[in-house]
């Protein structure tokens, strides 16, 4: 028996990818005017999170890194979007009109992307990246794409380390120079990094070829799609249907025999 607080972690990565994709799909196609729906999506995401062992702190830490980016992109929309002016921001001599349409678009972007980010954060906290890649591969995502992601995951830190060493080597011998000089040095560094990466790629390819690489990326773990995965996907799809169709708002009026369903619950 799996502990109830680790259900999401123990699921097959495929079922997580499928069901989370469904949620995001429904989320982004919901018209922004149905504000209540987004509350329900939020509850659904919370319900998923409660089935895993991740803590609120972990989630918030990651979410707060990402959301400001969205916010800064969206914050200018109300001023740019044309339509009925509802208010104007005055800074000294200038006047910036804000439109109703702009505010709706702003809400649209912020609400949808925040919820999607929240879901993605939960997904990344409950799935190890290698497992996620294997899930994608088993879902027939093009092999080249999966391989590309896998190599990026493996070598991004190696590359960053290399870049860090270059920057350190530069700053140790850097005593201030004109701007143009600095750009030249940055150019050199980017060039050196590129050549090193290129050469490393050749060596890695050599290492792959001598171990029999012929275009396929074989992998060992075979996940099993158990009844729990099936139930999880089913549960998500049913709750999405309820939200999308609006049935959920009528639950209180349902009758079983002479009783309101709401009262029997």
Partner 1 sequence: MANIIKVSDLRYYYPDGTAGLKDVSFEVEEGETLVIIGANGTGKSTLFLNLMGILEGEGCINIMGLTANKKNIKEIRKRMGLLFQDPDDQLFCPTVLDDVSFGPLNLGWDPDEVTAVSQKALMMVDLEGYESRTSHHLSYGEKKRAAIATVLSMDPRILLLDEPTSGLDPRSTSKCINILYNLKSQGKTLLIVTHDIFLAQEIADRILVFSEEKRPVAIGNYREILSNRDLLLKNNLIHQHQHRHDKEVHEHEHRHDYTHKH
Query: Using CB under 8 A as the criterion, which residues of the chain lie in contact with partner 1 when the complex forms?
Result: 128-130, 133, 150-151, 153-155, 157-158, 200, 203-204, 206-214, 216, 218-222
- Shortest distance, position 83 Cβ to partner 1, whole Å: 48
- Shortest distance, position 96 Cβ to partner 1, whole Å: 47
DSSP state of 255: E
Report the alpha-carbon distance of residue 8 to residue 14 in Å, rounded: 12
- Shortest distance, position 217 Cβ to partner 1, whole Å: 8
Cβ proximity to partner 1: between 129 and 194 the closer is: 129
Q: How many CB atoms lie within 10 A of CB 88?
A: 11
- Shortest distance, position 192 Cβ to partner 1, whole Å: 17
Between the alpha carbon of residue 35 and those of residues 11, 89, 107, the distances in Å are 31, 26, 10
| CB-based contact 223:12 (threshold 8 Å) | yes
Quote the Cα angle for 111-116-118, to 5°: 95
Cβ proximity to partner 1: between 180 and 211 the closer is: 211
Cβ proximity to partner 1: between 39 and 206 the closer is: 206
Cβ proximity to partner 1: between 82 and 216 the closer is: 216
- Shortest distance, position 130 Cβ to partner 1, whole Å: 4
> Would you list the DSSP string of 25-58?
HHHHHS-TT-HHHHHHHHHHHHHHHHTSS--HHH
Cβ proximity to partner 1: between 214 and 224 the closer is: 214
């Amino acid at each position: 028996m799996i502990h109830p607080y680790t259900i999401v972690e123990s699921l097959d990565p495929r079922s997580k990818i499928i069901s989370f994709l469904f949620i995001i799909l429904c989320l982004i196609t919901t018209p922004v005017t149905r504000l209540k729906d987004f509350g329900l999506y939020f509850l659904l995401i919370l319900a998923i999170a409660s089935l895993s062992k991740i803590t609120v702190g972990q989630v918030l830490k990651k979410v707060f890194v990402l959301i400001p980016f969205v916010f800064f992109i969206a914050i200018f929309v109300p001023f740019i979007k044309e339509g009925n002016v509802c208010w104007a921001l005055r800074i000294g001599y200038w006047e910036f009109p804000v439109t109703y349409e702009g505010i709706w678009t702003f809400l649209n972007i912020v609400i949808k992307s925040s919820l999607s980010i929240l879901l993605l954060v939960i997904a990344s906290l409950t799935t190890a990246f290698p497992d996620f890649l294997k899930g994608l591969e088993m879902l027939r995502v093009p092999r080249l794409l999966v391989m590309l992601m896998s190599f990026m995951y493996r070598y991004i830190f190696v590359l960053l380390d290399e870049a860090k060493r270059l920057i350190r080597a530069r700053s140790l011998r850097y005593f201030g120079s004109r701007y143009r000089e600095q750009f030249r040095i940055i150019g050199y560094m980017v060039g050196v990094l590129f050549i090193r990466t290129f050469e490393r790629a050749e060596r890695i390819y050599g290492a792959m070829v001598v171990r029999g690489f012929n275009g396929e990326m074989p992998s060992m773990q075979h996940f099993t799609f158990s009844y729990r995965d099936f139930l999880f996907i089913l549960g998500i799809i049913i709750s999405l249907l309820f939200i999308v169709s609006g049935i959920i708002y009528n639950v209180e009026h349902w009758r079983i025999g002479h009783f309101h369903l709401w009262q029997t619950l």
